[in-house]
Amino acid sequence: MMKRTVTGDLPPPKRSSLQQPVSCQLCRTRKLKCDRERPCSNCSSRNTTCVYAADPIQEAQPSPPPYVPVSTGMRLREGDHESFARRLRRLEDAVFGPDMRNTDVPHHFSRPSGSGNPKSRQNQDEEQQFASRWLEDMATTPAIASASNEDNSCSFWNGLGEAAESKATSPLDISRVLDSLPTLTVAEDLLRRFLTKVNILYHMLHVQTAWSNLYEMYGDLSNGRTPTRTRLAFALSIFAVSAYLDQQGKELDSTSEPPRVLSEKWFRYAVFLLTTPPIRASTEALQALVTITHLSMEFSGFSTNFHGLWLSTIRMAQEMRIHRLDTPYDWEERKRNGMDPVDVESKRRLWWHIVSSDWLLASIGGPQEGTYLLHPRQIETNYPSNVDDDSITTSKTYSHSEDYGLPLTSPTTMTYFICRIKAATLSREVVDRLPPSYFSCPGADSSNEIYDTILLLDHNYSAFLKSLPPFFRLDSYQSDASVFREKPYLDPQRSFINFTIYTHITRLHRPFLIRGSSEPKFAYSRMQCIRSAEMVLDIRRNRMAGREDLTKLYYVQHHVLMAVIVLAMDVCFNPDELKIEERKADILAACQLLENSSSTGGTESEPDLGMSRGLQKAVRSLRDMLNRHKARHRAGDTGIGYLAVPKMDKSKMTDRLLGHRTDHGDEKSGFPPETSTNQHDQFQQQPFDELWSDFFSVAPSFDIPDWTELLADLDSQLGTAG
């Protein structure tokens, strides 16, 4: 019998009758569910080598130092362990006192020495708060596999774990992204277009910083270095939006692709860079994510992908703690250590843009109507300052008071931004004060208390319009002509802030529009609803005439169509009023604007349907309802009862209409569907003139439930455009 050779003094291994474990070592140690892949998802997400018991023994490889993200963006390196220990000792001293740290004798808890001195106690409280917050950040901030990419520009493409796995399995290659970038000259034009068309309204970007980021990226490219994932996503998001808003339809650079095709391509690349894997939180990354999320809504409405990107935006902002940017502790820390005013202002702008957009979306029909995600009592961030970018100091300052902001009566590039926040606050108050079903089922509750609330909210909107700075009021053009010549961006800002308020007033009073024709109690609501709808169309027709690039936006088209429906409803219910023919002509003129804005920006081979998908669905919904009523009336006239089309409830009507969604791409996907020229031709063969001719002949037979059904369905179609 042969004896087994044993190395050294170790006893021979015992033969185990048990089957070797199928989970990897990490999952067994931490009692995690292992998917048994190589590497498994748990090891990939932790940047850990995935080792199975059945694997052959390999020579140990040095593992990279662990990454521990904190709110300040610092990483724990070897030299930081001593600092970590010092902070722990200071925390122990602050909580228990310096004499208790090394004692083995139990003591009752007592206040540390010197606690009777208020100043000493304040310093101890600050130290305790700092240490506690630092430890909390280490424990709660998720480790992102691609975090090191900010220091190593190639780590996303060549790194370990999830980043390397995504590179191997994803169809997108970095070379395709880099090849799609325009030349520096075209990139400069795209950024300039973004700053003059989009940033004048949202103003999330600090202009000088945006230019610096662009030149740094192209500097890296010219020197053969791969830009960081964040920098690429930032640039692509701007390029995609600028190309989307291009009205000329001309080719950019030397490519043969039209701007719309380039916009979709850059959009897809930016989404990939931001989400695969999730990008590390930073101001630049958040700017890119917000920008691309807005473009997603233009492509697909309030689709699943839009809401996914929107939630990612909010999550990244919370991870950066910019919703608590101005706590007393943060103020003291900035006073003590200094602050970068550009960084602080940029974060405030980003946060309040996210908040105001969240509150404004709550007033638009669709699945998100009547709900918002960010509660004002959970926010500790001040409004951004009313100041132009070049007036913000770019050097570190230790000033406790930020006195560079101007009053709202002094026009700056940020004045509209702050007024938009206040308009969004009014929108949130509507959601807070009215029942959730107010707009979808307006007849369910018409008590005096509800109507008194409507009048109060209407008063708040009117007071806001009166409180606007003179250069934002619609009746002050002549007196402020010199201001508009000096600051031309004020003109579109004035149009959009008034457009926003009047759309909200129209929607607030819309449930009482028809009842206001017969019940004197609601006559004021009818008057306000009609007047506000007329103001919406007037602003679109006369004051946005020179901004065709912005009038094609989903938000604008949505509210213009609903204003047209409101006026058409009143015409049908009050056909004997004076100037009825003039109002019909105004309605048809507004519809012509919608039709024109839906067909601009495309080419003969690539029609631009991005902004008209929601409009087409809503128009088809209206046309279907008119056809049902025409069939019903024809059956009544001939006496053939079996030809009558039965009345469908709203859910059935919506289900039937949703059956058309396959013509417009995958509703669950946020990416633009393949364009169909036949679909475009079909839409163009059914002009608005014919639609409204049918409307004015059939709609007078509608009763209140018919109108309620129609409005709810139009809101649903526009709210889920995709």
pLDDT per position as a tens digit, 514-545: 888 888 899 999 999 999 999 999 999 888 87
Contact 695, 626 (CB under 8 A): yes
Most confident of 411-415, 583-587, 608-612: 411-415
The answer to whether 454 and 385 are in contact (CB under 8 A) is: no
Q: What is the spatial distance between Cα 267 and Cα 265, in angstroms, rounded to a whole number?
A: 5
Average pLDDT over residues 310-324: 95
Q: What is the pLDDT of residue 178?
A: 93
Cα–Cα distances in Å, from 638 out to 587, 628, 634, 703?
32, 16, 6, 22
Rounded average pLDDT over 165-176: 57
384: Cβ–Cβ under 8 A, 6 or more apart, which residues? 345, 348, 349, 352, 414, 417, 418
pLDDT higher than threshold 90 for residue 375: yes
What are the domain boundaries of the chain? 170-385
> What was the pLDDT predicted at 684?
44
Q: What percent of the chain has pLDDT over 70?
A: 63
Ramachandran region, residue 8 (left: φ > 0; alpha: ψ -120 to 50; beta: rest): left
**Cα-flanking dihedrals φ and ψ of residue 716, to 5°?**
-65, -45
Closest CA to 345 of 333, 355, 336, 353: 353
CA distance linking residue 654 with residue 662, whole number of Å: 14
pLDDT band at 634 (very low <50, low <70, confident <90, very high): low
pTM for the model: 0.71
Could you give the percent of the chain with pLDDT greater than 90? 33
Q: Token pair for residue 357?
A: 């957009």
Tokens representing 704? 């209140």
Closest Cα partner for 472 from 443, 495, 441, 454? 495
Which region among 121-130, 178-187, 253-262, 391-400 has the lowest average model confidence (pLDDT)? 121-130
Per-residue confidence (pLDDT) for residue 25, from 0 to 100: 83
pLDDT at 446: 59
pLDDT at 301: 74
Round to whole Å and give the CA distance between 433 and 417. 25
How many residues in total does the chain contain? 722
Q: Locate tokens 């004015």: which residue? A: 696
Task: Please give the mean pLDDT across all residues of the chain.
Answer: 74
**What pLDDT sits at residue 300?**
77
Give me 574's structure tokens: 């009050």
Of residues 524 and 678, the one with the higher pLDDT is 524
Angle at 29 between CA 26 and CA 33, to 5 degrees: 65
Judged against a pLDDT cut of 60, whether residue 74 lies above it is answered with no
| Average pLDDT of the segment spanning 284-302 | 90
**Ramachandran angles phi, psi of 517, nearest 5°:** -75, -25
Q: What is the pLDDT of residue 698?
A: 75
**Confidence band (pLDDT; 50, 70, 90) for 334?**
confident
270 alpha carbon, distance to own chain's centre:
15
pLDDT at 97: 56
Q: State how far the Cα of 427 lies from the Cα of 487, in Å rounded to an integer.
A: 28
Where do we find the tokens 């009825």? 580
Q: CA torsion sign, 423 to 426 to 432 to 433?
A: negative
